[in-house]
Structure 1
Amino acid sequence: MRHRKLRDRLAGCTDWAEFGGTMHADPILGGLGNFDRNVIDQPEGRYEACTLRLFHPDTGQWSLHWVDGRDPKIDPPLYGAFEGGVGTFFGEDSVRGRPIRLRFVWERPTLATARWNQAFSADGGVTWETNWIMEFSRA
């Protein structure tokens, strides 16, 4: 994985850090979900994280549950679906104590690559700041 991340979020920052990492994903529950393990090599130091993704056949939506090794708890889930090959997921969180909307977008530009980006909105989704982009390629 190649990461590109804003050094400071929702602060008008335009300085991006670039770094590497790895991710390994496995299907679970007969295809109704997957689980990934990430090693993220940020300039501030390496850490591990994981994601549990579950498909809900009754709604056609996925839920995404992130666990960060630096603060091991399950973050509030994001919910969404894939349309036209693009997955868009929304959730609620907070940054420095203020509530935000959170958006993840998953794309697959080629059969061997994928792209993910994260954006925050501090105004209820009127405007979005993309603050993290990951480019994936198969090992």
Structure 2
Amino acid sequence: MLDPFDGGTHTVTMDGTKTTRPVWNGRAWLEEIEADGPNGHWEGATLFVYNAKAGQWSQMYVDGDSGGMEAPTIGSFKDGRGELFGTTVYKGRTVLVRGVWSDITANSHRYEIAYSQDGGKTWATAFKAYLTRLK
């Protein structure tokens, strides 16, 4: 969504591949993403780390073009749904960000990123991904 706070009517569709591998015997996961769309090729990487004492995951995203690392999101998975929260900068303003994993099966899941500029009262979807395992 190119305009999540303005109705989300301007979108870009991309097609790509996400490759994931465990790190530290599964206490962490490294995810590499490559996708192509009308604006060209996109690459990024995400590191997920599990904190056993807190029972929470943290997620850190690195953009392949800029090398910039976003602030981590932190949260947990329960009953087939994961929610991680943090902050990000959108158009020069710090907003809340929420990542949600849902419809999780052995071979697919859905992932959405939403932003809130009112302290989490309302959320505007900024990114949607529908992932299916290739055999």
TM over 0.5: yes
**Deviations 1:2-40 (CA, angstroms, capped at 9, x unpaired):** xxxx12232333132222010100000011010011002
Within 5 Å, give how 1:84-95 maps onto structure 2: 84-95=79-90
- Tell me how far apart the structure 1 counterparts of residues 100 and 8 of structure 2 sit (CA, whole Å): 21
User: TM-score w.r.t. structure 2 length?
Assistant: 0.93
For residue 120 of structure 1, what is the aligned residue in structure 2? Answer: 115
- Which runs of 4 or more aligned residues in structure 1 lie more than 6 Å from their structure 2 counterparts after TM superposition? none
**Greater relative CO, 1 or 2 (CA 8 Å, sep 6+):** 1
Percentage identity across paired residues of the two chains: 32
**Deviations 1:86-119 (CA, angstroms, capped at 9, x unpaired):** 0000001111111100000012443211110000
User: TM-score w.r.t. structure 1 length?
Assistant: 0.91
For residue 4 of structure 2, what is the aligned residue in structure 1? Answer: 9
| Alignment RMSD | 1.2
Unaligned runs of 5+ in 1: 1-5
Unaligned runs of 5+ in 2: none
2:65 to 50, 70, 85: 70
- Tell me how far apart the structure 2 counterparts of residues 42 and 108 of structure 1 sit (CA, whole Å): 25
